[in-house]
């Protein structure tokens, strides 16, 4: 059976201190599709860490948003797995 998971990493960095918390939002639709896709339902193993690898607290705000409590570092990252069963949006 083929694996259908993609691991994504989002890196955030700045020259100055970042806000104490940031919200990551995943789109719920694709242009031209006209359907709510709910991609977020396939997100697994969400995690966040600062630049030194220390885990950061986070919470799921709603079905498509995650709040990361960064405490203002200059860099941090989030990672998660997505079950990717379809290659693209179906078209006629």
Residue 87 pLDDT exceeds 80: no
Average pLDDT in the 12-20 region? Answer: 86
Task: Report which of residues 55 and 5 the model is more confident about.
Answer: 55
pLDDT at position 1: 47
Classify residue 91: in a domain, yes or no.
Answer: no
Classify residue 63: in a domain, yes or no.
Answer: yes
Classify residue 62: in a domain, yes or no.
Answer: yes
Task: Report which of residues 59 and 40 the model is more confident about.
Answer: 59
Which structural domain, as residue segments, surrounds residue 61?
Answer: 5-83
Pairwise CA distance, residues 14 & 73, whole Å: 9
pLDDT at position 2: 55
pLDDT band for 88, please (50, 70, 90 cuts): low
Domain count, the chain: 1
pLDDT 10s digits, 60-80: 999 999 999 998 878 999 999
The overall pTM is greater than 0.75: yes
DSSP state for residue 55 in the 8-state scheme:
B
Strand runs labelled E in the chain? 5-13, 21-25, 43-50, 58-62, 65-69, 75-83
């Amino acid at each position: 059976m083929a694996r259908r998971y993609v691991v994504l990493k989002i890196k955030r960095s700045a020259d100055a201190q970042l806000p104490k918390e940031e919200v990551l939002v995943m789109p719920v639709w694709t242009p031209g599709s006209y359907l709510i896709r709910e991609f977020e339902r396939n997100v697994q193993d969400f995690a966040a860490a600062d630049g030194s690898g220390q885990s950061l607290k986070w919470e799921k705000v709603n079905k498509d948003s995650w709040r990361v409590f960064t405490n203002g570092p200059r860099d941090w990252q989030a990672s998660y797995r997505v079950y990717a069963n379809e290659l693209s949006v179906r078209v006629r």
